[in-house]
Amino acid sequence: MRAQVKNIKGFNLLELVVVVVIIGVISATAYPKFQDWREKREIRNAALEVKSLMLGINGQVQRGLYVFVQVYVNITETEITIASKGMKSDTLFSKVNDGDSAWNIDATSRCNIADNDYWDNDGGVPGNTVAQVRRVVLDANKFASNFIGEAAVCFSKDAKWYSGAGNFVAGGGGDISVDQTMFLCIKADDIPTCAVDEGSGEPTVVVDNVFSIDWTRFGDITVDKWSSLLNEWQLQ
């Protein structure tokens, strides 16, 4: 009895080329969507991480560990650094009763960003091991905010010492206002900061990857995402 001859065929060159082309077309179609999804997830995670830092340091005020705290922001060409800092009651008492202290110059000097030894615990110092303060560093080549430079906002338990410094302060003299919003977005090659109108607080270009981190003088922190479809901010 003759053995049955098996008819086994492999792919020929033309078939392999067709398969490679199909895979390439599918990949080219799917990659932009995957890239957009990844960017949206990264910027959302960054905004929520900043929110967590702000909630954390305000929680220390409510627990009584600190009586006065700061959220400090420094944006350079390479990094966006957000750090929390804390001042204990003994330190605050000494500053209030020291006529030469920056604390007693004006409201903006209280939220000090100039003196390295002003705060008891400083999360902005690399290698700091104090658990109650934190430091978040974002890639400024990937993310942007609505300003470049230094800014700070300061909180206390009863909002009595609410103040700001740097880019979070507007006005002068007796007419000083402290910002209550910071924006984060995916950085565009031709736009170094988030394209947000200062008057309306809305993006000036059609984008979905813009988040606002909002706070009140009492330490309530929220994050909103801009929806270009609904043309409004949506709470996250």
Q: Given this model, what pLDDT does residue 82 score?
A: 96
- Going residue by residue through the chain (236 aa), what tens digit of pLDDT does each one get? 455 555 555 556 666 666 666 666 665 555 455 566 577 888 999 999 999 999 999 999 999 999 999 999 999 989 999 999 999 999 999 988 888 887 887 777 889 998 888 999 998 887 777 888 999 999 999 899 999 999 999 999 888 899 999 999 887 666 778 999 999 998 877 778 888 887 778 888 766 689 999 999 999 999 999 988 888 899 98
Distance of alpha carbon 119 from alpha carbon 68, whole angstroms = 9
Nearest to 135 by CA among 70, 213, 81, 57: 81
- Using CA of residue 226, residue 227, residue 228, residue 233, what is the dihedral sign? negative
Q: Given this model, what pLDDT does residue 173 score?
A: 62
| Sequence-distant contacts of 222-226: CB under 8 A, at least 24 apart | 222/51, 223/47, 223/48, 223/51, 225/44, 225/47, 226/202
Q: Does some domain include residue 33?
A: no
Structure tokens at 160: 């009595």
pTM to 2 decimals?
A: 0.82
Q: Does some domain include residue 42?
A: no
Q: Does some domain include residue 44?
A: no
Q: Does some domain include residue 153?
A: yes
Q: Does some domain include residue 36?
A: no
Q: Does some domain include residue 127?
A: yes
| Per-residue model confidence as pLDDT tens digits over 211-229 | 999 999 999 999 999 988 8
Q: Does some domain include residue 34?
A: no
- Using an 8 Å Cβ cutoff, are 154 and 201 in contact? no
Overall number of domains in the chain: 1
Q: Residue 165's domain spans which residues?
A: 53-235
Q: Does some domain include residue 82?
A: yes
